Structure 1
Amino acid sequence: MNTNREHINVVWLKRDLRLQDNEAISNALKSGKRTLIIYIFEHLLLNDVHYSERHFNFIKESIQDINKQLSVYNSKVLTVTSDISSTFNQLQEFYRIKTIYSHVETGLLVTYDRDKEFIRYCRNNFITWEESKNNGVERGIVNRDYWFENWETYMTSHLEMFQPLENQLLNISEIEHLEQLFSVTDLHTPEATKFQKGGTTIGWKYANSFFESRHKDYMSNISKPEASRSSCSRISPYIAWGNLSIRQVFQKAQQLKAKTSEPKHIGPFISRLRWQAHFIQKFEMEHTMENASVNKGYHKLKKTLSISYQNAWKEGQTGFPLVDASMRCLIETGYVNFRMRAMLASFFTHILWQPWQFATTHLSQLFLDFEPGIHFPQLQMQAGETGINNLRIYNPTVNGLKHDPDALFIKKWVPELAHLDTTFIHEPYLMTELEQGFYNFKLGEDYPMPIVDIKENRKRASDILWNMKKDTEVISESFRILKRHTL
């Protein structure tokens, strides 16, 4: 080992794939020391069942975008496929690492366990690991006293600027020399997909077009599966992977709210930024939510597994057009609006009466904006297993007639129904054999019959879950949850 190694700082990028308003980068640069920025495609995440290729491609596109910005400084991100300790062991062959900077990650249990191991690694190697608060979420708090005030203060504080000193970033030649030590990740991604592309640059294109014009129909179309695709902000993946910070978006939205003559659309958007932080904070404080219901009273709830039901739901072949359209759209594009996500979860857990745990990985792999701190609390809320939220059992037919009355969304994603009259598109199972003949359409062949009796199953779920709300353990747990997670 070289005993004359240069002392440097390292920024470990995770779900903060941006240069501006990145506190970890800013703190590293303020130290004045030369700095290396790294991203590690860790085997523990590459092999994790919650992730899929669409996520890794989005990350790669985000890093490509960062590298374009860093080219001005003759630098780039060292991007490797490895494990965290192995990576730093290799780096220390060339450099003495003084401090590692990153953000606190509210991730999966595997990343939490990895972080605990890495703390020991840093201690054993006399490295300081400095973690910054991520989007106002706090680690180590036991209740929400003053949480909202602290979050608001954080959101209105100054943005961190990316201002490296001359030659402060390791240059491309030095990084290419380091790359010889590693399995360097190929950052190329497929061009022809229907997924949103990653990166801060395109993230701001979505955000700016929303703030400039698209927000004007935000609340009018928020529940409509087709219209919401353009009138919602569509920045959720850019927030989930850190291409944009919540603070940047919050301040931009507040500026618009102050000058617009119609704040009715921007106000609700800002409130959803708060809710986003609220749910991640909840998950941060109750990490067991990844595998078990936060309300322990629901651990006694038993459901009969049906692989055939689960597969029909996963493939968009349930016989309920809005459910199938939403799932097929999600498979192909990685996005559906909040109401359709809630309906998919409700249909799985209530109408099909399947445990929410068996929906987690399928949905997480499909959501381009998969965020653990949103994913698990929301699934449990839609499954009716928190004890503190209203029980919502979505009727897909009613939602289709209300939010997709002309069946534009269904026609697009369930094309085998597109030639039917609108009434039949929403409820093809009501067609008589004679009517099926008129349209040269055969239920059970061209499109599946409903796999369950929705009226009967809806009543079963409602009766059981409403009765469980009276359970003494559910009530006791509800009080505990409210005390811990509300103001």
Structure 2
Amino acid sequence: MMARMAVQLVWFKRDLRTHDHLPLCEAARRGPVLPLYIVEPDYWRGADAGARHWQVLRESLLELRDALHELGLPLIVRRGEAVAVLERLRRELDVAALWSHEETGNGFTYARDLRVAGWAKANGIAWTEIPQFGVVRRLKRRDGWVTQWEAHMNRPVQALPERIAAAPDCASDPLPDAADLGLADDGCTHRQRGGRRLGLKYLDSFFAERGLEYHYRMSSPNTAPQACSRLSVPLSVGALSMREVLQRTAWERERARGTPRLRAFTAFEARLHWHCHFIQKFESEPELEFRNMNRGFDGMREAEFDAARFNAWAEGRTGLPFVDACMRRLQATGWINFRMRAMLVSVAAYQFWLHWPAVAQHLARLFTDYEPGIHYPQVQMQSGTTGINIPRIYNPVKQSQDQDPDGGFIRTWLPELRGLPAAAIHTPWRLDAATLKRHGVVLDGNYPRPPVEPESAAREAKRRYTEWRNRLQTRELGRVVLDKHGSRKKAPMRRPAAKKPAPQGDLFG
């Protein structure tokens, strides 16, 4: 009887690429490789999951399958609970080792990885998890973190071995569509598609043309869709690696010295640094998905959650035109720029006084670039529950007038207000009924009246929030939070080496 061939099992999660994929490289050096993706139905039943996420992921998986095929490898898809899937494979094959990137995911993936670790240990299988980002597991203090981040980002982008041995043939389940997973159509009719090829095209076009005025065009929802990199979607599923994007950015920034584009590329690079900074918070404290970062704010909003206000906010029916236009754009496209995301959370937290978890889950379902490690710390920061950040209470009327002065963005997403002139479209509730009717608007008819006057509601929210923030317990816990999660900005951060990245595929195509 012939002995079974020992297999190096490479488990793809949110790292759907072959380029700069250290687990795949390390596995290939040790023996025949079997690439695996596990479709977990229970994950897709979660409160933060939506059809738009699976559609982006599925498109990226199809491209990964093609890339692996070029290397002579299949992509094996198995559907089910992760430990059960791995155990079936163990019985089918001689699994010598399990390889993957570390994942800083939501509560579901955290619990699943603990179960997988237990399974691997019980079966004597070495599971090697390799950092995908500059995020450090089991980090005790933030001191020195920047140095570790720099070391990770400055390492050379990983090139694959010229030849990879394939494991024996293994059955694969079909790749389901959204309906197969019980995911209803969520109305994302204009979403960005997934996959590495499109990500590389966005990367090239950003540095060639779109990003040249990034630093002052990224704030308005009218200009941001073109001026922003749009790399957050491929980065969220790992179709691109953060290291390759950051090294490309450093190279482009050096090329831009002495030109107006230097300021734009420097601003973009600063945003890339935020990525791992926020994920590190979540890696160090995954409970931030469920509870306040600063427990001194426990009880501030929880008991006053107004479901009617939440539903109006979630549906884009608040009566605040700019807020509603942003929400409706997000519903239809899955993406909106950072300032508008912050404003949506701010209005929910302050003017509507909504506790953040339901707000976070709703936005998670809408963002096609949902990254849990960034999402929950950011929502808490914008809601004021960190205790270490200056509260940002956005005035939605001022944002509307500043970012959409002629009302064009509002008219695009709120057709019921198209008849209003620019001077009136930002605050229709302040017009008399006759004027509104002349322009085709009936408050609480074809467009709602806001449940609060935004400026007075913001003043009251600031008063109440300040009372909580000034409590002795909140201030003391704030110092603990700062020590654990605060950025260390005293020492200047060194940028990654600005060497020209080696061309890979159509990186410069």
TM-score range, shorter chain: over 0.9
1:92 match: secondary structure: helix
> Structure 1 counterpart of 2:345, which letter?
A
**Cα distance between partner residues in 1 of 2:366 and 2:437:** 37
**Cα distance between partner residues in 2 of 1:153 and 1:410:** 45
Deviations 1:323-360 (A, max 9, x none): 10011111110001011111111111111111011212
Partner of 2:373: 373
Partner of 2:385: 385
Equivalent residues of 2:120, 2:126 under 8 A apart: yes
Matches within 5 A, 1:322-471: 322-471=322-471
Deviations 1:107-161 (A, max 9, x none): 1122111111111101111110000012111100111121101111211110011
> Structure 1 counterpart of 2:319, which letter?
G
**Cα distance between partner residues in 1 of 2:188 and 2:51:** 14
Q: 2:250 aligns with which of 225, 244, 254?
A: 254
2:268 match: secondary structure: helix
Partner of 1:123: 121
Specify whether residues 419 and 378 from structure 1 end up closer, same or farther in structure 2 by C-alpha distance, changes over 3 A only.
same
**Cα distance between partner residues in 2 of 1:59 and 1:438:** 47
Matches within 5 A, 1:49-448: 49-163=47-161, 165=163, 168-170=165-167, 174-175=169-170, 178-179=171-172, 183-186=173-176, 193-260=189-256, 261-262=259-260, 263-302=262-301, 303-448=303-448
> Structure 2 counterpart of 1:149, which letter?
T
2:38 match: secondary structure: strand
Specify whether residues 192 and 84 from structure 1 end up closer, same or farther in structure 2 by C-alpha distance, changes over 3 A only.
closer
Equivalent residues of 2:54, 2:178 under 8 A apart: no
> Structure 2 counterpart of 1:123, which letter?
K
Equivalent residues of 2:38, 2:77 under 8 A apart: yes
Equivalent residues of 1:61, 1:187 under 8 A apart: no
Deviations 1:225-266 (A, max 9, x none): 111010000111111111111100000000100011231011
Equivalent residues of 1:66, 1:76 under 8 A apart: no
**Cα distance between partner residues in 1 of 2:437 and 2:386:** 47
Larger mean Cα displacement after TM superposition, 476-485 or 368-377: 476-485
- Unmatched runs of 5 consecutive residues or more in structure 1: none
The alpha carbon displacement at 1:188 in A equals: 8.6
1:18 match: secondary structure: coil
> Structure 1 counterpart of 2:166, which letter?
L
The alpha carbon displacement at 1:85 in A equals: 1.4
Partner of 1:475: 475
Deviations 1:144-181 (A, max 9, x none): 12110111121111001123525x1347xx24xx12xx
**Cα distance between partner residues in 1 of 2:349 and 2:188:** 34
**Cα distance between partner residues in 2 of 1:333 and 1:381:** 24
Matches within 5 A, 1:21-32: 21-31=20-30
> Structure 2 counterpart of 1:20, which letter?
H
Equivalent residues of 1:29, 1:164 under 8 A apart: no
Specify whether residues 315 and 257 from structure 1 end up closer, same or farther in structure 2 by C-alpha distance, changes over 3 A only.
same
The alpha carbon displacement at 1:75 in A equals: 2.9
> Structure 2 counterpart of 1:376, which letter?
Y
Query: What is the total number of aligned residue pairs between the two structures?
Result: 477
**Cα distance between partner residues in 2 of 1:405 and 1:153:** 45
Deviations 1:14-65 (A, max 9, x none): 111111001111111122x000111111133122111111111111100111
**Cα distance between partner residues in 1 of 2:105 and 2:159:** 26
The alpha carbon displacement at 1:70 in A equals: 2.3
Equivalent residues of 1:5, 1:94 under 8 A apart: no
Specify whether residues 379 and 192 from structure 1 end up closer, same or farther in structure 2 by C-alpha distance, changes over 3 A only.
closer
Specify whether residues 440 and 59 from structure 1 end up closer, same or farther in structure 2 by C-alpha distance, changes over 3 A only.
closer
Deviations 1:418-466 (A, max 9, x none): 2210112111112222212322332221211112222332111100111
1:359 match: secondary structure: helix
1:75 match: secondary structure: coil
**Cα distance between partner residues in 2 of 1:224 and 1:149:** 34
Larger mean Cα displacement after TM superposition, 184-193 or 83-92: 184-193
Larger mean Cα displacement after TM superposition, 39-48 or 138-147: 39-48
**Cα distance between partner residues in 2 of 1:230 and 1:455:** 31
Larger mean Cα displacement after TM superposition, 85-94 or 218-227: 85-94
1:79 match: secondary structure: strand
Identity of aligned residues (%): 32
Cα RMSD (Å) of the superposition? 1.8
Partner of 2:495: none
Specify whether residues 157 and 73 from structure 1 end up closer, same or farther in structure 2 by C-alpha distance, changes over 3 A only.
closer
The alpha carbon displacement at 1:94 in A equals: 2.7
Specify whether residues 23 and 297 from structure 1 end up closer, same or farther in structure 2 by C-alpha distance, changes over 3 A only.
same
Partner of 2:502: none
> Structure 1 counterpart of 2:451, which letter?
I
Partner of 2:11: 12
| TM-score in terms of structure 1 length | 0.94
Equivalent residues of 1:314, 1:327 under 8 A apart: yes
